[in-house]
Structure 1
């Protein structure tokens, strides 16, 4: 198994497409093989610029990702795309809407697209999405674009996963109100107003600029002025400017020292999320013997819900020999 994993990692580092796809599939398995593989992949990651795109459904994120990918390819940069799709209620798999919209890159070896199902994961990110980012990073992709599912309030988790966060808004969708409600305004490094050829686009731009000037929302990097970039992915308007803003922000992160801060924040989030996943998996496997009795006690009001939950957790074994400890 060790030799097989080492060979696979070597092929991933060489950028071989089949190896990259296979490594991603193994990473999604969340078993011993995934743990051994990702432990090695982790050592070779950390070089790519990870860009997260978020916004409410209908704001044009997928079209924006495709347009940015074309622009980055013109600049000679390789691009990995992690498109988080909603889960099918029947199979649990990704609906693959984003993959369908990005078929134009099928013949480009400098672009790799991976669609992933949320599978109930909160925060707009699938559980294995950042392992997938690591694989693309280790494979040498210069830029990795993460497009979240677009579920509103849960979107704020993208701020903990990307170096540069782009919030996409579209005219006529009430995005400015949604941004205030969901806390999305505060997570952006760059605001993008898509479909700027629409008549009411100027109002959306003014509204977002106005809200930005009410305070200084952001992630603590006060030296960076958050731009609002009007774009039209269909006509190409604003895409060059947006790509340059992304590159400028990346250079700013490195020169200001903020990049190190964000990398540490991402790793902290991943450690905590992984610990939660391990506990959740163990709970799902080991709950049945204990849950029924606790359920009966809670039903008869002999035990309150919190006390029952504590009893259930006390029955979970965190030490053992399996690979997910």
Structure 2
């Protein structure tokens, strides 16, 4: 039964992906593809813009959702993700410094530096979390938001002083309008990282029980934490450097999947990736339709949707506690 439902989800993803190929400023229709006169331009639009954009949406959505569930396991808290833990802000700071110091560096080098900054920011967040009493779970995301605000303020100040505020705004708001062939391929690395996370799912589940319990069960806790941090930092850096950040995605998707099928990470990880891709694809299509021929960045659309779901989860938890 679960395989049938998963197959239905994949079919829905395919339908949304096909829809995404035919939505945009330039008209691409089946008639254009059949007509010999308009076929070359239609095929070029598909190859250069629509297919790369759709693939980027699927890769970014699924990988950010996977990074979010790993972050929640490592922090042992349901209300954290890269955008509420200072990870995205730290990656943006790394990108900004690279633009200032080595503006001509290859994109891969900039991505590696951003990943290093994201890793440091995430490690700092986890270190702060360890000082929070276990009976105050809502303080964990608040701590991450405050840490991100501090790093973001520093980044904004540097960008303001160096006239790079426009570039900073592009990284902070997920926008796929500029994705074309040759400018999204780094996102395939996030697919590799998501697959690695699936094979390490059992380790992350045990690590989520805490250091003492993990070591008693024979797990190398420090190694598992290092692998998890590396995956989260790399995914965040790659997505930020390619299309920008998508707030709340890594927070709401794991919670929705957990409500539906439980907390088994290995079982739930395919659902997390699938749900993340579906939501990002859907929000991008909505953003392209409601103000056509203009478009609203997917980060803005999902920020509204994700914020509403986040409030629902908070109120739901508060009502259960009371």
TM-score class normalised by the smaller sequence: under 0.3
Tell me the TM-score normalised to structure 1 length: 0.25
Which of the pair is proportionally richer in strand? 1
Higher relative contact order (CA 8 A, sep 6+): 2
Which of the pair is proportionally richer in helix? 2
